[in-house]
Amino acid sequence: MIAKLTHTFIYVLDQDEALQFYTEKLGFNVIANIPLGPNKRWLTVAPPGDSGIEIVLMKASVGPFFTDESADSINSVVSKGQLGWCVFSCPNIYATYEELIKKGVEFIHPPTETPSGISANFRDNSGNWFSLQQDGE
C-alpha cells in the first residue's frame, strides 16, 4: 500500500536561477543538491519547517525521460506560464504578501477573499504560477 507522497516536481528553465529564487526570495531550504552528470542534478527544496514533501526543481533536458522534442515542449510550456501550479500556505497572507513583494516576487493577483478562503497568485522566475493561501482557510 502507498503510504505517502514524498516528492513533487516543478519544471524550471534554469536550476541555478530557480535555486536562487526559491531560497532567497521564498526562503525555502535546500534538501538535496546532487550532481547527476553534465548539466544535470537532483535539486530539492522545501519550505522551512516542512518535512513532509520535497519539491524537485527539474530542468527538462534530453535523457532517459525526454527526447529533444519533448524537453523543448515542456520548457516552452513552462516559459509561457502554463505549468507548475500548486498551493502554498502561510499563517498571515497579508504579511507574507508584503514580504515577498519586497523581495521581488511577481504577484499576478493580490490577496483576495474568495469562497474557498483568502489567496493570492504569484509566479516563479521560470514562469510557473502558484497560489498562496492563508492557513485555516
State the pLDDT at residue 50.
77
* pTM beyond 0.85: yes
Q: At 82, is the pLDDT very low, low, confident or very high (cuts 50, 70, 90)?
A: confident
Q: Which domains does the chain have, with CATH numbers?
A: 7-134 (3.10.180.10)
Torsion of CA 95, 97, 103, 106, to 10 degrees: -170
Which pLDDT tens digit goes with each residue over 24-77? 999 999 999 999 877 789 999 999 987 789 999 999 888 888 899 998 999 999
State the pLDDT at residue 137.
47
Q: What is d(CA 46, CA 30) in angstroms, rounded to the nearest whole number?
A: 7
